[in-house]
Amino acid sequence: MEKLTITDIAKLAGVSTATVSNYLNHNFNKMSPKTRAHLAKIINDTNYRPNSVARDLAKSENKTIGVSIADITNPFTAPVLSGISEVCDQYGYKMIFTNADNDPNNEVNNILRLRSENVTGFIIDSVNPDNPIYKSLSNDFTVMVDRQSVVTSFDTIVTDNTSSVQAMTQKMLDAGYDELYFVSWPLDKVSTRIKRYRGFLSATGYDDDSHLITVPHRGEQRLYEVFQEKIDEVMENRGDKKIGFFTMNARVFLRLLRAMQHNNYTYPTDYGVATYEEFDWMTVMRPGISCIRQDSRRIGTDAAKLLKKKLETKEGGVPTTHIIPTTLIIRDSF
pLDDT of 263 > 50? The answer is yes
Q: Count Cα neighbours of 167 within 13 Å in the Cβ-side half-sphere.
A: 16
The three-point CA angle 235-238-239 to 5° equals 130
- Lowest mean pLDDT segment, chosen from 58-62, 118-122, 192-196, 220-224: 58-62
Residues 232-245 have a mean pLDDT of 97
Burial of 163 (0-12, 13-18, 19+ CB in 10 A): middle
Q: From CA 105, how far away is CA 309, in angstroms rounded?
A: 30
Contact 122, 310 (CB under 8 A): no
Mean pLDDT calculated for residue range 258-286: 94
Percent above pLDDT 90 for the chain: 68
Q: What integer is the mean pLDDT of 47-76?
A: 74
- For residue 55, the model assigns a pLDDT of 52
Q: Is 188 exposed, middle or buried (0-12, 13-18, 19+ CB in 10 A)?
A: exposed
Query: C-alpha distances in angstroms, 61 versus 5, 143, 216, 217?
Result: 19, 19, 45, 42
Residue 180 has a pLDDT of: 98
The fraction of the chain above a pLDDT of 70, given in percent, is: 95
- pLDDT on residue 229: 96
Mean pLDDT rounded to a whole number for the chain: 91
Among residues 74, 75, 73, 125, which one has the least CA distance to residue 97? 125
Of the pLDDT bands very low, low, confident and very high (cuts 50, 70, 90), residue 251 is very high
SS3 state at 142: strand
Q: Is 161 helix (H, G, I), strand (E, B) or coil?
A: helix
pLDDT tens digits, one per residue of 167-224: 999 999 999 999 999 999 999 889 999 999 999 999 999 999 999 999 988 767 788 8
Contact of 12 with 28, CB cutoff 8 Å: no
Q: Is the dihedral of CA 255, 258, 263, 269 positive or negative?
A: positive
Contact predicate 38/46, CB 8 Å: no
Contact 122, 67 (CB under 8 A): yes
Distance CA 323, CA 330 (A): 22
pLDDT score for 61: 60
16 vs 171 pLDDT, higher one: 171
**In the prediction, which pLDDT does 53 show?**
46
Give the span between the Cα atoms of 89 and 95, in whole angstroms: 9
CB-based contacts of 267, cutoff 8 Å, min separation 6 = 260, 273, 287, 333, 334
What per-residue confidence (pLDDT) applies to 314?
84
Beta strands in 41-113, from DSSP E residues, in sequence order = 64-69, 94-99
From the list 328, 310, 329, the residue with the least C-alpha distance to 320 is 310
Q: Pick the range with the lowest mean pLDDT from 19-28, 112-121, 128-137.
A: 19-28
Pick from 212, 296, 205: nearest CA to 247: 212
Mean pLDDT of all residues in 132-153: 91
Closest CA to 296 of 279, 308, 310: 279
